[in-house]
Amino acid sequence: MLADTWYLFNKYVKISMRMPLWSLFSLIQPLLWLFIFGALFNNFATLPGFPADTYIDYFVPGVLIMTVLFGSSWAGVSLLREISAGTVDKMLVSPASRTAIVLSRVLHSAVQAVIQAFIVLVAAWLMGANTNFNPVYIFMAMFVILLLGIAFAALSNGLAIKLQREEPLVIMGNLMTLPLMFFSSAMVPEQFMPNWIHAIGSFNPIEYATSAVRAALSTTPDFHAFSIGFGVTLLFAVGTLYWAISAFKSIQD
Amino acid sequence: MITINGLNKIYTNGTKAVDQLSLQINEREILALLGPNGAGKSSTIKILTTLSGFDDGEVTVAGYDIDREPEKVRQSIGYVAQETGVDYFLTGRENLELQGHLYRMKKPEIKSRIEELGQYFEIADVLDNLVSSYSGGMRRKLDIATALIHRPKILFLDEPTLGLDTQSRQSLWKYIRKLNDELGLTILLTTHYLEEADKLSNRVAIIDKGHIKVIDKPDALKDDISGDVVSLQFQDPQNKNDIVNAMRSNDFVMDTMWEKDKLHLYVSNGATSIPRLIENCNEIKADVINVSYQRPTLDDVFIKYTGSSIDATEEGEEKWWEKWAGKGGGGMWAKKWQQANAESEDDAKVWTTEEAEEWHKNKNWSKEEAAEWNDNKQWTAEESAAWHAEQKNEAKTDTKEASGIDNPSDDKELTKEASEDWHKNKEWSQEEAAQWNQNKQWSAEESAAWHSDKDDSQSAKKKKQDSETSWPKNN
């Protein structure tokens, strides 16, 4: 299974490498957010009780999460294309592990999301954001981002198999990402949220991933908050992956 | 090599894709599953290649039960899907390598196998190009090569030449036959091309509605139809049963099959039976509009077992204007077309004046026709005048001709009595009289008699004239 995953993962990496422009293109959106939101909400930081010196300091973990969300939530579209092109059938008639077929796809889009998040982080550093750039903490944050990427790529792949069509998949992708993001502290500190949004947020996996990344990248890292966020994100990733794999195995019936 | 027993497959939407299908495929044979789209060909192949589950039945492939040992089945088969199963953004070699790895082959083994397949399919030169630059035929060959990387014993080809041009198709047939001849592969292919099934396969299985209708060698199937196929096309056949009964009354008619308005008859000898069949149709007043006759083809076999031509199931049957009219659009044009159609059938041609004139000139009229025409004709004044003038001239030439023949003085020595008799009876025209006067040598008595006659008539004439002219003056 691991060997199959590796070979298939390699295939997707090769395909991505052959269209580097496209991969760069998907970076534009998070970079724009970093720039626009940073300027737009700059005065937020002057409000009493704001947990950071500037808005951009606060927003960096949030924009990293957004990069993952918008990068991984469309992973299922290419699965549908592969199914209609016949390449999925080709894999399925071979003895290749079915788990490996899903895992390689999910890992590929998660790794892509991590690379993009890393580039966004470098951009934030260039813009003078005051976050923790210690490699150990960056690694910790990136690990959470990888898990969140896996979770959303798995969700999208599983939905692709269940929905069978691109249009509803795109609608579901939108429905998943935007509200979940606003129900988290990615953009607005929880002190500033209405209570009911905050209450919903405590069931939101993105909220946990955000707090974990924020805890790691904070100038004063909070291990307790990190381990809670990390644990929940890990559970979320494992759960969605399992669901996607079983959905994929059901194709054959 | 493959044994299928009572296979059933019902999709979740209720479609029965495979219905009690049983089939036996021998080692080293090429078997073609022939059927229209939606007949259950692809569903069957998908079950055999472990891509799809099934509801009921027993299937063994290469000696392994498909339900219990799918892994072993997968190792022994190669599958080429309808869609090209190769990745466009990889090179040919990368596609082959990946497939080799997925079949758990060792690296050096993969490498030597790629060389082999590259030469076999004559794609060695392009192996390092991206597949997106390949032609359709090349892509198909690479597709088959990837399916063969692990040296399977059985190859499944689902519509292998679909969408290929004739040349690529024939080249592909060559390879498929070679794979069977040289490598001893058992091949199961699906197709809806009759020619493909006919030329390529050892045996053909005709499949319709998820069920195998018949299975045999292509030639045996054609021989089984025995004799020829006469096809009678009828003008709107209402009483199909009557027609069939009339045809069946001949003992040389072995089988009949309706295909829309066409009746296919399987007869022992086509050429001699056609006149008798037409006679039968006339007796029951069935309108035959077309007769064709041919040696049996695989399509006839197909029609015999499924009741429709394989091509008919592919294309729409309605004429375009019927379709259009049926959808409520363009009614005017639809009507025009239908009208034009009906009129040409009734032989009611609309003539242009030029055409009519031309036709009249060329026609040789019988007297009756001419008379009838004259009666019916409404003459305009000009036409009438022109006709009368013409008629006069004709009459003149007629009398001249007649006098030429009849005038006895020209070439006959007349007896005096005969001559006098003739003169008395003849009604002279003025010209004739004048001419005669000039030529006549008058005797004195004759002259005197004439002059006295003349005077009388002249004085009488004068009196009459005077009274006529004076009369209005008195008024």
Asked if B43 is an interface residue toward chain A (Cβ–Cβ < 8 A), one would say no
Report the DSSP pairing between strands B203-208 and B30-34: parallel
- Work out the percent of chain B whose per-residue pLDDT is above 70: 66
Cα distances from B314 to residues A196, B37, B235, B275, B309, in angstroms, run 60, 7, 24, 33, 9
pLDDT tens, residue by residue, A85-104: 888 889 999 999 989 999 99
pLDDT tens, residue by residue, A47-82: 887 888 888 888 899 999 999 988 888 888 989 988
Report the DSSP pairing between strands B228-234 and B262-267: antiparallel
- Domain B2-216 = CATH 3.40.50.2000: no
Contacts for B244 with CB less than 8 Å, ≥ 6 apart: B256, B258, B263
3-class SS of residue A147: helix
pLDDT score recorded for residue B319: 38
A81 to chain B: closest CA residue: B87
Confidence band, pLDDT 50/70/90 cuts, at residue A195: confident
Q: Say if residues B225 and B256 touch (Cβ distance below 8 Å).
A: no
- Residues B103 and B399: their CA atoms lie apart, in Å, by 113
Least confident stretch, A59-68, B179-188, B345-354: B345-354
Q: Which of B49, B83, B84 sits opposite A93 (nearest CB)?
A: B49
Which residues between 75 and 104 in chain A have a beta carbon less than 8 angstroms from any beta carbon of chain B? 84-87, 89-96
Q: Strand locations in B209-330, DSSP E?
A: 211-216, 228-234, 253-259, 262-267, 288-294
* Amino acid (one-letter) located at A137: Y
The mean pLDDT value for B35-40 works out to 81
Chain A neighbors of B77, CB-CB under 8 A: 93
pLDDT tens, residue by residue, B58-87: 999 998 999 899 889 999 999 998 888 888
Chain A neighbors of B89, CB-CB under 8 A: 14-15, 18-19
Q: What is the dihedral of CA A106, A111, A116, A122, to 10 degrees?
A: 150
pLDDT tens, residue by residue, B233-288: 888 877 888 888 888 888 888 788 888 888 888 887 777 788 888 888 888 888 88
Residues in chain B, how many? 475
**Sheet of B203-208: strands edge to edge?**
B77-80, B154-158, B186-191, B30-34, B203-208, B211-216
Yes or no, beta carbons of A87 and B102 under 8 Å apart: no
Confidence band, pLDDT 50/70/90 cuts, at residue B437: low
Number of neighbouring beta carbons within 10 Å of residue B473:
6
pLDDT score recorded for residue A226: 93
A18 to chain B: closest CA residue: B89
**Nearest partner of B144 among B168, B108, B112, judged by Cα:** B168
Q: Which of A90, A95, A253 sits opposite B53 (nearest CB)?
A: A253
pLDDT score recorded for residue A155: 93
Domain B225-306, second-level architecture: 2-Layer Sandwich (3.30)
Q: Does B225-306 match B2-216 at the fold level?
A: no
- Residues A92 and B412: their CA atoms lie apart, in Å, by 120
Q: Is the pLDDT of residue B469 over 60?
A: no
The mean pLDDT value for B97-103 works out to 93
pLDDT tens, residue by residue, B304-331: 777 777 665 444 333 333 444 333 333 4
Helix (H) or strand (E) holding A71: helix A55-72
Q: Is the pLDDT of residue A172 over 90?
A: no
Query: How close is the nearest chain B Cα to the Cα of A18, in Å?
Result: 8
Cα distances from A208 to residues A30, A212, A225, A229, in angstroms, run 20, 6, 9, 4
Q: Which of B49, B98, B104 sits opposite A11 (nearest CB)?
A: B98
Chain B neighbors of A3, CB-CB under 8 A: 101, 104
Which has more confidence, B295 or A62?
A: A62
Least confident stretch, A156-170, B166-180, B335-349: B335-349
Mean of the per-residue pLDDT values of chain B: 76
pLDDT score recorded for residue B235: 83
The burial of B105, by beta-carbon neighbours within 10 Å (0-12 exposed, 13-18 middle, 19 or more buried), is given as middle
Helix runs in A86-132, H state only: 87-93, 98-126
**Nearest partner of B33 among B157, B221, B205, judged by Cα:** B205
Chain B neighbors of A253, CB-CB under 8 A: 52-53
Return the sign of the alpha-carbon dihedral for residues A120, A124, A130, A135.
Answer: positive
Number of neighbouring beta carbons within 10 Å of residue B342:
10
Residue with tokens 């069920």: B211
- Residues A76 and B138: their CA atoms lie apart, in Å, by 29
Contacts for A124 with CB less than 8 Å, ≥ 6 apart: A34, A56, A60, A63, A131
Q: Which of B79, B87, B89 sits opposite A93 (nearest CB)?
A: B79
- Residues A176 and A68: their CA atoms lie apart, in Å, by 13
* Amino acid (one-letter) located at B127: L
Side-chain half-sphere of B442: how many Cα atoms within 13 Å? 11
Least confident stretch, A165-169, A240-244, B269-273, B353-357: B353-357
Q: Say if residues A158 and A243 touch (Cβ distance below 8 Å).
A: yes
Which has more confidence, A131 or B379?
A: A131
Q: Which of A7, A18, A86 sits opposite B101 (nearest CB)?
A: A7
Yes or no, beta carbons of B79 and A89 under 8 Å apart: yes
Which has more confidence, A210 or A41?
A: A210
Domain map of chain B by residue range? 2-216, 225-306
Contacts for B205 with CB less than 8 Å, ≥ 6 apart: B23, B31, B32, B33, B34, B212, B214, B215
Tally C-beta pairs within 8 A across A and B.
Answer: 75
